[in-house]
Amino acid sequence: MRSKQSILMAALLAALLGPGVPAALAADAPATASAVDKEGWYKHIVDIEFVKQWVDIPPKPGVMLIDARPAARKFDPGHIPGAINIPDTQFDKYVDKLPADKNTLLLIYCEGEKCMLSHKEAFKAEALGYTNVKVYAGGFPDWVAKGMTPAVSGAWIKKQLDDKTNLVLVDSRPARVFAQGAIPGAISLPDSQFDAAKLPADKATPLVFYCGGLKCVLSGKSAEKARAAGYTNVATYPEGYPEWTQLYGAPAAAAAPAAEPAKPAALLAPGKEKGTATAASFIQVMKDSPASLVVVDVRDAKEFKAGAMKGSINIPIDQLEKKIDSLPAGKPLVFVCGTGGRAGEAYDMVKLMRGELQPWFIDAEITFNADGSFSIKEKK
């Protein structure tokens, strides 16, 4: 029998949540980072509002989101973006996936409030010495029910393609990057040129958007645009093309126009592809004479604010065309982003619209730090 205190709490929550929410359901709503008194539950329970502040692409530092459900049946066809899969039944097998820093925030979830896998896994993580463990009791069902976009795995996409389902796989990277290699069967619809008219007429068609990996925000942006256009079955593949090539190999690149000879600027060395500068030469110039370049970061303002190269300016790729006349002449322009995709698109745009400038771009994975430093990982 419910206590008088729980009845009062239920009534209060029902009043706060508004009409149409039964008091019994309100009483069971998990509270942010609070303890609960349910048999077998872990002591630190969080709700979707707590989780949302930590879920992002690129993933935020200091946190790991863990899906405790089975891989093929649950995680692969749908999970929270950025989560890794450590099934509770195979916890010992995959324990090496956990971070070395025992103070890392571990957010663990499974299949809703009746699912105990996340709680069991939380106790196991705590036993290993992790000090900041929390369970999202609402889990994946709550995530989807609250209107959040889910993610799918590469294995699930591969199965859909092999089974020839009606899945439409959409590559949100610039067309020039798509031409260099894409997931077989994908269509090219660059986020900067998003047009819902190019998607299937049936708004219930399953759509999965992908781009250049966990540092690329384009697929998430395109997915939200598709949802805003009325599509009801939308997901992302955040690990994108980089993971796909690791899992299944790189497909043959589409035929591309012959590269024009690059016009080297002083100190920068041309890379393999038209318009690129080698990472080594760029790093050296940024070390020796950064004022000799104009570095233009074409990532979103949110990404730029989180971390950017010292001295760089921010013009998001979807604003570049409007601001292209503001680009300075006289110094080489170097476009940068997280994976090289948007930077390459910026290069193409400037070459077309302002051919008198000296544009370059860095076609590599770049990690931007809050202190203005950066690191570059060359593509293989």
pLDDT single digits (tens) 44-63: 999 999 999 999 998 999 99
pLDDT at residue number 213: 95
pLDDT single digits (tens) 258-282: 444 444 344 799 998 999 999 999 9
**Residue ranges of E strands in the chain:** 45-46, 63-67, 84-85, 105-109, 133-136, 168-171, 187-188, 207-210, 234-237, 294-297, 313-314, 333-336, 359-361, 364-368, 374-378
Mean pLDDT of 355-377: 93
Please state the domain extents for the chain. Answer: 31-145, 154-248, 279-378
Please tell me which residue, 239 or 15, carries the higher pLDDT value: 239
pLDDT single digits (tens) 247-256: 999 875 544 4
Asked whether 336 and 366 are in contact (CB, 8 A), the reply is yes
pLDDT single digits (tens) 282-298: 999 999 889 889 999 99
Cα-only R_g, the chain: 23
- Pairing, β 45-46 against β 333-336: unpaired
Residue holding tokens 């069967």? Answer: 185
Residue 13 above 70 pLDDT? Answer: no
pLDDT single digits (tens) 127-138: 999 999 999 999
Whole-number Å distance between alpha carbons of 260 and 365: 24
Structure-block tokens of residue 157: 């996409």
At the top level of CATH, the class of 279-378 is alpha beta
CATH 3.40.250.10 fits 31-145, yes or no: yes
Asked whether 341 and 218 are in contact (CB, 8 A), the reply is yes
Structure-block tokens of residue 180: 């260099």
At the top level of CATH, the class of 154-248 is alpha beta
Whole-number Å distance between alpha carbons of 159 and 206: 14
Using alpha carbons, select from 191, 145, 197, 201 the residue that is nearest to residue 170.
Answer: 191
Question: Which residue(s) pair with 314 in the sheet?
Answer: 297
Please tell me which residue, 16 or 329, carries the higher pLDDT value: 329
Share of the chain above pLDDT 90, in %: 77
Residue 139 above 60 pLDDT? Answer: yes
Whole-number Å distance between alpha carbons of 54 and 60: 7
Give the single-character DSSP code of 82. T
- Angle at 99 (CA atoms; ends 97, 105), nearest 5 degrees: 120
Residue 36: pLDDT band by 50, 70, 90 thresholds?
Answer: low
> What is the residue-averaged pLDDT of the chain?
87
Residue 26: pLDDT band by 50, 70, 90 thresholds?
Answer: very low
Whole-number Å distance between alpha carbons of 167 and 141: 22
Cα first-last separation, the chain: 64
* Helix, strand, coil percent values for the chain (each to nearest 5): 35, 15, 50
Number of CB atoms found within 10 A of residue 230's CB: 10
Using alpha carbons, select from 125, 119, 115 the residue that is nearest to residue 95.
Answer: 125
pLDDT at residue number 258: 40
Torsion of the alpha carbons at 109, 112, 118 and 122, rounded to the nearest 10? 80
pLDDT at residue number 37: 61
Residue 118 above 70 pLDDT? Answer: yes
Task: Name which of 32-41, 87-96, 203-212, 366-375 the model is least confident about.
Answer: 32-41
pLDDT at residue number 253: 52
Structure-block tokens of residue 116: 């105990």
Residue 20 above 50 pLDDT? Answer: no
pLDDT at residue number 355: 82
pLDDT single digits (tens) 186-199: 999 999 999 999 99
pLDDT single digits (tens) 210-250: 999 999 999 999 999 999 999 999 999 999 999 999 999 98
Residue 7 above 60 pLDDT? Answer: no
Mean pLDDT of 115-137: 98
Mean pLDDT of 300-314: 95
Whole-number Å distance between alpha carbons of 27 and 158: 42
Mean pLDDT of 95-116: 97
Identical fold, 31-145 and 279-378: yes
Please tell me which residue, 67 or 36, carries the higher pLDDT value: 67
